[in-house]
């Protein structure tokens, strides 16, 4: 399995511009920003990439953690690491999880936690903030993450990968133990950078919400 931890320097977030959640003016210090790449065939098969980050006020950076599957043996290992990550976040006092269309990711990972007897359900420990739902409640129309990024002026330097192409890649990885060794390193890095951009975008959108939407939801 590939484990990748990266610090990304970002602008110090503005509480004033951040999305308000109920009576809470800002949840940045209590939140993780989460996204999965996964493979489903009728039922969830595996997590391809687990990605999550939180804002480190001391160093003014995002702490991004990623796990990427390399073979079938990693299917359970990546789940164990994911559970350990969430438990560590709970110990840090994190109690919100920010996603985009997060129910899809929660359904996949919670199904796999149950399948492999890992006894963990994300929504039992975190309050979900789904930016897609927040947008739809505000604007009354549906939107994808890439389209929402454009509204916030976010440009992806490494391009976009379709979900179907990612699923095909993870399907090959779990079916062929040697496939990962034949994958060019640049392709592995592209997948990791794509997922990293997803979680960084969640942070950027959340913390600049009122730059685009003046009135709080």
Per residue in 48-95, pLDDT (tens digit) is 999 999 999 999 999 999 999 999 999 999 999 999 999 999 999 999
DSSP the chain: -EEEEEEEE-PPPPTTTSPPBTTBS--GGGEEEEEEEEEEESEEEEEEEEEEEEEETTTTEEEEEEEE--STTHHHHHHHHHHHHHHHHHHTT--EEEESSHHHHHHHHHHHHHHTT----GGGT-EEEEHHHHHHHHHSS---HHHHHHHTT---TT----HHHHHHHHHHHHH-TTHHHHS-HHHHHHHHHHHHHHHHHHHHHHHTHHHH--S--
pLDDT at 24 over 80: no
Confidence of residue 217 (pLDDT cuts 50, 70, 90): very low
Question: If we measure between CA atoms, which residue out of 60, 58, 94, 49 comes closest to residue 188?
Answer: 49
pLDDT higher than threshold 80 for residue 187: yes
**Is 90 exceeded by the pLDDT of residue 163?**
no
- Which domains, ranges and CATH numbers included, belong to the chain? 2-210 (3.30.420.10)
pLDDT digits over 166-186, tens only? 999 999 999 999 999 999 999
Q: How many CA atoms lie within 13 A of 205 on its CB side?
A: 27
pLDDT at 28: 92
pLDDT in tens, 2-15: 999 999 999 889 88
CA distance 27 to 19: 9
pLDDT exceeds cutoff 90 at 97 = yes
**Confidence band, pLDDT 50/70/90 cuts, at residue 216:** very low
Enter the DSSP assignment of 152: T
3-state SS class at 17: coil
The answer, yes or no, to whether residue 104 has pLDDT greater than 80, is yes
Q: Is the pLDDT of residue 121 over 90?
A: yes
Question: How crowded is residue 101: how many other Cβ atoms within 10 Å of its Cβ?
Answer: 16
């Amino acid at each position: 399995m590939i484990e990748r931890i990266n610090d990304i320097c970002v602008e110090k977030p503005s509480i004033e511009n951040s999305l308000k959640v109920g009576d809470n003016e800002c949840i940045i210090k209590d939140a993780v920003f989460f996204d999965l790449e996964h493979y489903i065939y009728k039922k969830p098969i595996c997590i391809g990439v687990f990605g999550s980050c939180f804002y480190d006020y001391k160093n003014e950076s995002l702490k991004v953690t990623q796990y990427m599957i390399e073979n079938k043996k990693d299917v359970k290992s990546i789940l164990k690491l994911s559970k350990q990550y969430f438990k560590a976040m709970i110990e840090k006092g994190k109690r919100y999880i920010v996603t985009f269309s997060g129910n899809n990711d929660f359904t996949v990972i919670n199904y796999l936690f149950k399948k492999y007897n890992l006894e963990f359900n994300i929504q039992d420990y975190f309050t979900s903030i789904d930016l897609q739902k927040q947008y739809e409640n505000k604007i009354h129309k549906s939107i994808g993450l890439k389209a929402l990024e454009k509204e916030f002026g976010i440009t992806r330097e490494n391009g976009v990968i379709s979900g179907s192409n990612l699923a095909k890649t993870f399907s090959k990885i779990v079916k062929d133990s040697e496939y990962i060794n034949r994958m060019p390193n640049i392709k592995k890095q592209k997948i990791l950078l794509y997922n990293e951009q997803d979680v960084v975008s969640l942070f950027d959108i959340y913390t600049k919400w009122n730059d685009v939407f003046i009135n709080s939801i």
